[in-house]
Amino acid sequence: MCVTLGFRIRQWQAIAKCCHQAYNIGTMSSPKRTTIYDVAREAGVAASTVSRSFSDPRRVNATTREHVLEVAERLGYRPNPLATALQSGRTATIALLVPDITNPHFFGTIRGAERRASAAGVTFILGYTEESADNERNQIERLARSVDGFVLAASRMPDSTTTELAREHNLALVNREVEGLPSAVFDNGPGSWQIVEHLASLGHRSLVYLSGPHQSWLAGERWRALRSGAEQRGMTATRLGPFPPRVVGGGAAADAALVAKATAIVAHNDLLAIGVLRRLTERGVRVPQEISVVGYDDIFGADFCVPALTTLAGPHEEAGSAAVELLLEKASPSATRAAPRRVTLPSHLVIRDSTGPAPA
């Protein structure tokens, strides 16, 4: 095969010319894609009419349009999204920026976002920021012209940077709130209170929160809710950490909780909780008899680790799709200039085997 790339046509022709040897060029696709001009010529109309037939059907006579469409079909015409984007500024593309794909937490979000985008005929770009605010910013700058907007999942950027970027870019947030920006978040307050109530009902008088990264907005929200909930129940709440929100973080986190004489541990997320479980097992501490453990997210695996993890579950897919929805709304030409919407999604506690009565 010579070159089947379909791009760099010019070069391809050059190569084809000097190497028409054994290559069966006959089977190659025609070097030039068909454009609106080809369709226009064949249909006996102007290019603009072809364009309109696709992009704004009602501004063209039904009969003409049908004819144009038929010709386009016959010629195998496909609009070139790049040309459309360059001219119109609309790319019909959005990007989702995620801190870390290793974390199953985001799988639901990614899936939901991709689905929603796909359903809207919008192409979906995925970027990882490696937990760094700088990377996040760079990605945004780099992709700016290529997308209509960004969904930032668990963004690590400070509010000020985000606000500043929002002046030039179309942003929507997941699991993060910033004044003036659309966002989809779980109800961290009520959700965390469910955890507190569950623990309180089991007779626990205190809880230890094993915190995630300090730049994490979520960690702050969760801690605030946990503390206020505990206060209301007359329980004491302690924050330890930060710990890396991954399984490996669980070792140090568990040890710290043990030193703090915790009877109930609330981990920043399930990954950390699973790490804690593992460390506790290693050290011969029985869960939940001696200590109870709760996580956040209900990730894949939370139901089959041992003991199965009690965790606060939330509709992650919905969060992803809602954020895309908000972005699309904002980006739509008919966008209302109303205050950006904030969507709050309900979370619920899934009680499994890692929580039990407080030790006597």
Partner DNA sequence: GTGAAAGCGCTAACAG
Partner DNA sequence: CTGTTAGCGCTTTCAC
Give the interface with DNA as residue ranges (CB under 7 A). Answer: 10, 32-33, 35-37, 44-49, 51-52, 54-56, 58-61, 63-65, 77-80, 83-84, 86-88
**Residue 122 or 322 with smaller CB distance to DNA:** 122
CA 82 distance to own-chain centroid: 25
Residue 17 Cβ, how far from its own copies at the closest point, in Å?
A: 14
Residue 347 corresponds to which tokens in the numbers above?
Answer: 């979370």
Torsional class of 233: left (φ above 0), alpha (ψ -120 to 50), beta (otherwise):
alpha
Residue 110's binding partner out of DNA, its own copies, none, with CB under 5 to 8 Å set by partner kind: its own copies
* CA 221 to chain centroid: 19
Q: Tell me how far, at minimum, the Cβ of 54 lies from DNA, in Å.
A: 6
SS3 18: helix
Q: Which does 179 bind (CB under 5 to 8 A by kind): its own copies, DNA, none?
A: none
Contacts of 169 (CB under 8 A, 6+ apart): 140, 144, 149, 150
Contact partner, 19, from its own copies, DNA, none, Cβ < 5-8 Å per class? its own copies
Q: Cβ closer to its own copies: 39 or 200?
A: 39
Whichever of 63 and 160 has its CB closer to DNA, that residue is 63
Could you tell which of its own copies, DNA, none binds residue 348, using a CB distance below 5 to 8 A set by kind? none
Which of DNA, its own copies, none lies near 305, with the C-beta cut-off 5 to 8 A by kind? its own copies
Q: Which alpha helices (H) appear in 34-158, and where do they start and end?
A: 36-43, 47-55, 62-75, 81-88, 105-119, 133-143
Decide: 144 and 167 in contact? Cβ < 8 Å: no
Q: Which is nearer to DNA, 83 or 248 (CB)?
A: 83
For its own copies, the closer CB: 81 or 359: 81
Residues whose CB is less than 8 angstroms from the CB of residue 184 and which lie 6 or more positions away in sequence, other chains included = 172, 173, 174, 175, 318, 319, 320, 322, 323, 326, 342, 343, 344, 345
Q: Which does 18 bind (CB under 5 to 8 A by kind): its own copies, DNA, none?
A: none
- Residue 237 pairs in a beta bridge with 207
Cβ distance to its own copies smaller for residue 119 or 260: 119
Instruction: Please state, in angstroms and rounded to a whole number, the distance separating the CA atoms of residues 90 and 279.
Output: 51
357 neighbors 351 (Cβ within 8 angstroms)? no
Residue 331 token pair: 């980006």
Residue ranges that bind its own copies, judged by CB under 8 A: 1-11, 19, 23, 27-29, 33, 78, 80-83, 85-86, 88-91, 93, 101-102, 104, 107, 110-111, 114-115, 118, 123-128, 141-146, 148-149, 166-170, 180, 274, 278, 300-301, 304-306, 330-331, 333, 335, 337
Residue 92 is which amino acid?
A
What's the CA gap between 81 and 63, in Å, rounded? Answer: 26
Instruction: State the nearest-atom distance from the C-beta of 352 to DNA, in Å.
Output: 52
Which CB, 2 or 75, lies closer to DNA?
75
